[in-house]
């Protein structure tokens, strides 16, 4: 694989992460091995691509279209293949096969979403409906013995990272930062029954397909409070988030049939965490501080 075939976002991410540069050096061999394993004809990588995976259209020996995804394993996304197996294509892209050639690499053969346009082209209020409808289908109880990690672990790690970098917070009020981090640690340890979560669902990861109107790709599965799961979609809708975050939370809570106050608390805590590197979310955190 030549250098121009690297997706733009993957190349940019690797420039700031030396360990990813080492992984990219082995990427051509992983593409070649996957093509040989499944007898695939591999096309050029999708552009601009993602920040932690190489993804390209392929054709199988049966002349069926599919997608080859070769991912750099990072801690937030350890169980993508397990999640897709658990969902069995009910609202998500189907996993056709999977192999882990080494500890740093996941190789997934996936159902192709065609035409593959993303739901972020829809008006935002329509996006709300699409996201809520998919999430309500995806919130299943995992089978006993499933490998999924608890949401509480992810939240604790994020909160610890912000604790270390607290001086970089843009919130500008130590008490708000303290309360937000405490809430981010506490919320996942209580509340509704734990279900399988995507944790990173936004309309850029919802693609138009023939089998269903919309299918989810690129989940980062954890088990925990379903009220957490609409947060990434909400963070992506900046105008409504900044103008009236409480009204936005009430709308999403109604669509999802979750507790509106709890969703506001989650949104406040997540905005505090994110404000360490995103100054635009600091005013949202301050506006929600009294929830």
What are the catalytic residues? 200
CA 90 from centre of chain? 17
- How far is 226 from 138, CA to CA, in rounded Å? 10
Asked if residues 23 and 72 have their Cβ atoms less than 8 Å apart, the reply is yes
Count of alpha carbons within 13 angstroms of residue 66, beta-carbon side: 23
The CA-atom distances, in angstroms, between 168 and each of 67, 235, 275, 283, 289 are: 40, 20, 9, 15, 19
Q: Which residues of 89-110 are buried (b: 16+ CB within 10 A; e: fewer)?
A: eebbbbbbebeeeeebbbbbbb
- How far is 8 from 45, CA to CA, in rounded Å? 10
245-256 and 124-138 helices, crossing angle to 10°: 40
- Both structure tokens of 13: 């991410």
Strand partners, 118: 207
Sheet of 65-72: strand order equals: 41-42, 53-59, 65-72, 105-111, 95-102
């Amino acid at each position: 694989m030549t250098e121009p075939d690297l997706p733009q976002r993957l190349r940019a991410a690797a420039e700031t992460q030396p360990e990813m540069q080492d992984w990219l050096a082995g990427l051509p061999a992983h593409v070649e091995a996957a093509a040989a394993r499944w007898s695939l004809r591999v096309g050029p990588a999708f552009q601009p691509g993602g920040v932690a995976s190489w993804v390209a259209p392929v054709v199988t020996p049966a002349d069926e279209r599919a997608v080859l995804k070769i991912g750099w394993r990072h801690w937030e996304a350890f169980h993508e293949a397990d999640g897709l197996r658990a969902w069995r294509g009910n609202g998500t892209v189907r996993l056709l096969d999977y192999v882990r050639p080494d500890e740093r690499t996941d190789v997934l053969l996936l159902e192709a979403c065609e035409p593959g346009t993303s739901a972020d082209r829809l008006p935002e209020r329509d996006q709300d409906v699409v996201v809520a409808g998919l999430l309500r289908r995806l919130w299943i109880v995992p089978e006993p013995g499933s490998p999924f990690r608890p949401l509480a672990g992810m939240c604790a790690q994020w909160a610890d990272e912000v604790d270390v970098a607290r001086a970089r917070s843009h919130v500008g009020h130590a008490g708000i930062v303290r309360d937000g981090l405490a809430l981010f640690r506490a919320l996942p340890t209580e509340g509704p029954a734990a279900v399988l979560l995507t944790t990173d669902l936004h309309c850029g990861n919802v693609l138009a397909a023939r089998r269903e109107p919309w299918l989810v790709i690129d989940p980062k599965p954890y088990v925990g409070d379903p009220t957490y799961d609409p947060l990434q979609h909400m963070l992506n809708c900046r105008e409504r988030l900044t103008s009236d975050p409480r009204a936005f939370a009430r709308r999403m809570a109604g669509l999802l049939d979750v507790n509106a106050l709890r969703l506001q608390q989650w949104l406040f805590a997540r905005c505090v965490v994110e404000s360490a590197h995103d100054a635009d979310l600091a005013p949202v955190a301050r506006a929600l501080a009294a929830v």
